[in-house]
Amino acid sequence: MKQFTVEKLISDGYSFARDENGKVVLLTEGLPGETVEAVKLKGKESVEFWKTVRVVQSSPDRKIKGCKGFPDCGGCDWGGLQYSNQLLWKKRIVQEQFRRVGKFYELPDFEMIPSKKTNHYRNRMEYVAYQKGKKIGFGMYKRFSNEVVDVEDCDLGYEGFGKVRRTFEEILSRFGVKPYNRESKRGFLKHLVLRGNRNGDIVALLITKRESFPEIDKISREVKEQLPEVTSLVHVFNSRDDVVLRGPYRVIYGEGIITETLGDAVFQVPPVSFFQANVFVMEELLKYVQQELNPSPSETFLDLYSGIGTFAFYFARMFKKVVAVEGIKISSRAMLSNARINMISNLEAVNMDTRDFLEKNEEKFDKVILDPPRAGIGKDIELIGKALPKRIVYISCNPTTLARDSRYLSNKGFSLKALRAFDMFPDTHHVEVVAIFNRV
């Protein structure tokens, strides 16, 4: 056990300190200025990872997060920091990653847009099944761990989620459903995922290790009776331990989709498809992107990593033609049905890997959006240059990969014009960033 003084918060949720020899130490917890006690987890030549055990001297910027799972729960790693300081540190992290990783030494100043809702803002919660005494419980993973914590009064998900989670615990325990254990590889039920919309409808997904689900018909009758807000129940079979929302599914009752509106566009989201988790901030983000895209009815638009077409549909009427590229078949197919619902006829949905598309594509596009997963796109981003866009809008939930890819774009003749950060995930270290590039 050793004491450290935290210097700053950095990317990926770590607190940065140095040991007596100046070596970098990344801590699992601790606010800037705090002295903490920690134990070593692992070390490399240049950096060591330590687990914070106790805060010895706490910061005046600490706040009380009135939730039983805090501070162990991985859902809210920054829940102990005043909200205004969260915004400040998120902005600093974006600046630091652009300087350190992207080598942008004269970054334009940018706004950090707060979330109007700092709790009950998430429309999707992925709870982990675990053995809660004699019953089945649904909790969240501890920070940097596979252990599960109770999230009895969690305030991240939409307001109705707590009651639904508790009722599922009670019904499934009565039917003797056993939680799956990742260590022993025994058990059956892995996750309860709740997806909601702003009308209060909830789609509940039960994700299991094996395909057959004994007594699901009886269970579903009870769910329907006790939880009228659960408009659909879906069974997802996913044998993989590293991803949650993946695999074939069967709709037990209801339509199995969640419907949400953004601007004039209506979205029907299949149960396992990606959809932005904080629609309140997403509305702000879309307005900014519109302003920076500056669409024209004579221009063409390419939406890469399009999902079910959030950007494609929002902007479709403002462009002559939209091509939306998405790797997952279900999401790509959902674009076609969403096009019919929204009466959009100028959209072409392409179900293809982004790299394959960019390699084969010979078409020119005036404006391009890309919104990849956390890993970013990497050097393949240079292939976008072939389409000769005037403007590229890169939306990212990972400032490190965004900074890296921005450097590639910048070296290929696209200058970084502006940035704006959006706090889609209050009480966590996560931040969404929009970067705008012009072809020089």
Compute the least distance from the CB of residue 354 to ligand SAM, in Å: 4
Closest approach, Cβ 372 to ligand SAM, in A, equals: 6
Tell whether 371 is in a known binding site. yes
Q: Is 211 annotated as a binding residue?
A: no
Q: What does the alpha-carbon distance between residue 65 and residue 132 come to, in Å, rounded to a whole number?
A: 23
Q: Where along the sequence are the contacts to ligand SAM (CB under 6 A)?
A: 274-276, 305-307, 310-311, 326-328, 331, 353-354, 371-373
Residue 249 burial (10 A CB sphere; 0-12, 13-18, 19+): buried
Least distance to ligand SAM, CB of residue 370, Å = 8
Q: Which of 296, 237, 243, 232 is nearest to 270 (CA)?
A: 232
Closer to ligand SAM by Cβ: residue 86 or 354: 354
Tell me whether residue 55 or residue 424 sits nearer to ligand SAM (CB atom): 424
State in angstroms the smallest separation of the CB of 305 from ligand SAM: 3
Nearer to ligand SAM, 80 or 372 (CB): 372
Q: In the complex with ligand SAM, which residue's Cβ is closer, 342 or 354? A: 354
Residue nearest to ligand SAM (CB): 307
Min separation Cβ 117 and ligand SAM, Å: 19
Task: Tell me how far apart the alpha carbons of residues 296 and 291 are, in angstroms, rounded to a whole number.
Answer: 12
348 is in an annotated binding site: no
Which CB sits closer to ligand SAM, 233 or 281?
A: 281
Which two tokens mark 15? 């607190």
CA dihedral 365, 367, 371, 377 (to 10 degrees): 50
CB of 306 to ligand SAM, least distance (A): 5
What residues are annotated to the active site?
397
Angle at 287 between CA 282 and CA 293, to 5 degrees: 115
Distance CA 59, CA 262 (A): 39
Q: In this complex, which beta carbon is closest to ligand SAM, that of residue 75 or of residue 372?
A: 372
| Residues in a beta bridge with 410 | none
Query: Of the candidates 345, 392, 325, which has an alpha carbon nearest to the alpha carbon of residue 365?
Result: 392
Give me the helix-helix angle, 161-174 and 216-226, nearest 10°. Answer: 140
Q: In 28-154, which ranges are E strands? A: 35-43, 47-57, 111-113, 124-132, 135-141, 148-149
* Identity of the residue numbered 16: F
Per the CB < 8 A criterion, the answer to whether 173 and 136 are in contact is yes
Residues making up the binding site for S-adenosyl-L-methionine:
276, 305, 326, 371
Binding-site positions read 276, 305, 326, 371
